[in-house]
Structure 1
């Protein structure tokens, strides 16, 4: 009878409540931790280490030391607990040189070192102006560009969005008409239906044969549905 009694005790232990710091865990809790002078510390790791976790379970939690915030894993991937429902990505840069050549598109000079805000479960900044989408949805994409030495005369320009190497939209397309060498800027915004693993390129074209002084460059993604 002793082995059978031990088995009953083991079965009871598997299904009873567990308390740490308390002898009376709530009956609705499988595990309850109570303390007034100590903290619960989840696993701490970089963003790369977090993304390298093989087959994480739904509701897994880590502290992401790259972005200094808690992340939780759901059916769409890792999600920052600081994010709102409208997942976003913002990259910006001030100063530098803007490469331009007649009739040639160039990627925005913004990469992972220029990230101001990012939900890593939705976006991956691959290289200059190139973003990989990690969730299906409707995205609002905006971009802006300015220089301080646009030459006089008429210069055609455009800001374009490419998906997987193909043009899908022009955020802005027009001509700059300057009476003298001066400041110039352009911006635009559009919405697109994007899918997991789509690679998006944000590009600009300015018909000028001399590089320009960059004042400001930025682009943003907002997942609206």
Structure 2
């Protein structure tokens, strides 16, 4: 028996010996094929299975001790193949893969926030979650926060605003003095406030876009930022709206305010360099207000634009709470001269629409305003005002971004109050009752200087004639420039002319 077993073992050893000799000689192995490719050490062939590389997390990959050059693994965190490059002593992702973010954290529905956000909770002293600056936090599903979030210049993002939801039921959700970014989320705070953001630095920025804010007790306050940009934000079912305060540049693009909101939807207070609210709509519910600019002291140091926003609702008077009457506003309008407003549902307000007119009129046979002309030929050009005679019955109307001078020196003065330089057309008529036969002229003047290229002549033949002259001119006006009317005797009778009627329009 011993002899037989020894003989069999010898045969097996010999077979293995010859197999390895063959392998060494050919340097080729075929799996799934009897004819491996001559250029390959190992040729694996299959039409039903694949080759499975070692699979591991990023941490496990980085923990490999002294990896060989060209070592290949599949990273399950990044979902990509990596190979080790001994020259650079680093793992390199294969072409087409996406390297993982070092500054990334995912927060899923059902997560224990005290564990997932343990460093953030520690940074907030256990009272709030202070996010790590320049880090992307992905919200996955519905996450209920028990403490406020301090954005701290981090990025809070979801993949689908309908599915990725942040909830807080008391207190304040976002509370802090820094900037940050919020995108692609639904935010709901029943019984709570969404924002209490008071930037400590005027250079801070805050971005909110592609987001739904719904069913919140109070949207809250955003204040003190250098730049605030809200784009494509849907507001629905909120009890109270939002206040913007002391912001350098405020950009509001395509905001949707539905009629199931309450309170004041949007309120501006303090000082802004720039406000631009463009697109979207405000469907103002009964008892609510759409846009509030009524707080005393609201100042625009640069410009404010309200463009292509649609205001609707049962009470048009509540679409806009206007500036106080003391803030250079105009009857029937809502804003001051810092604003350019072109929005459906409310009056258009812009320097391009500036207009001013007035008329002075005396009873028939009344001498009217007396204007003494000297005996020179021609006489000096004299402004039509109250040099003597009865004060005029002056009717000013349609003053929009124009004012009048209340002093006796300015009874026919129209002052441009807009912010932008523009060219105006000036038209009107003047009636002059003359002391005798002669030729008389009328002028439009700018800042006291006659626009002589637009003078108009009239001739009288007897004393007491009334000459009717047209007034036409074009003038470029800056803020504070003013328009008046003047007359002159070219030749003929000297003395005093009276002006029974004068009407002029600048637009």
Q: 1:78 & 1:93 partners in 2: Cα distance?
A: 32
Relative contact order, higher structure (CA 8 A, sep 6+): 1
Q: What TM-score results when the alignment is normalised by the length of structure 2?
A: 0.34
Question: Equivalent residue of 2:127, what SS?
Answer: helix
- Structure 1 CA distance, aligned partners of 2:442 and 2:462? 20
1:7 matched residue in structure 2 = 148
Contact 1:146 1:185 in 2 (8 A): yes
User: 1:99 is matched with which residue?
Assistant: 371
Query: 5+ residue gaps in structure 1?
Result: none
2:332 equivalent among 69, 76, 90: 69
1:28 to 256, 264, 286: 256
Give the superposition deviation at 1:153: 1.4
Instruction: Give the alignment partner of residue 87 of structure 1, picking from 354, 373, 380.
Output: 354
- Work out whether residues 430 and 502 of structure 2, in 8 Å CA contact, stay in contact via their aligned partners in 1: yes
Give ranges in structure 2 of 5+ residues lacking alignment: 1-113, 115-125, 129-145, 150-167, 174-188, 196-212, 219-235, 239-254, 266-282, 307-320, 363-367, 387-391
CA distance in 2, matches of 1:157, 1:138: 24
2:299 match: secondary structure: coil
Residue deviations 1:30-83 (CA, integer Å, cap 9, x gap) = 837522xx57596779xxxx8xx4624836832649853132247557999366
Q: Whose radius of gyration is greater, 1 or 2?
A: 2
Work out which of the residue numbers 402, 418, 442 in structure 2 matches 1:158. Answer: 442
Q: Distance in 2 between matches of 1:108 and 1:219?
A: 12
What is the aligned-residue RMSD (CA, Å)?
A: 4.1
Alpha-carbon distance in structure 2 between the residues aligned to 1:75 and 1:184: 42
**Cα distance, 1:161 vs. partner?**
1.7
Residue 145 of structure 1: how far off its partner (Å): 1.0
Distance in 1 between residues matched to 2:340 and 2:382, nearest whole Å? 31
Task: Return the alpha-carbon distance in structure 1 between the equivalents of residues 436 and 449 of structure 2.
Answer: 32
Task: Report the counterpart of residue 108 of structure 1 in structure 2.
Answer: 384
- Distance of 1:175 and 1:101 partners within structure 2: 16
Q: Tell me the secondary structure at the aligned position of residue 148 of structure 2.
A: helix
Q: How far apart are the structure 1 equivalents of 2:217 and 2:354? A: 36
Displacement of 1:151 after TM fit? 3.5
1:143-186 CA distances to partner (integer Å, 9 max, x unpaired)?
Answer: 32114x433412332323234x4333343332413145332211
Mean Cα deviation higher: 11-20 or 190-199: 11-20
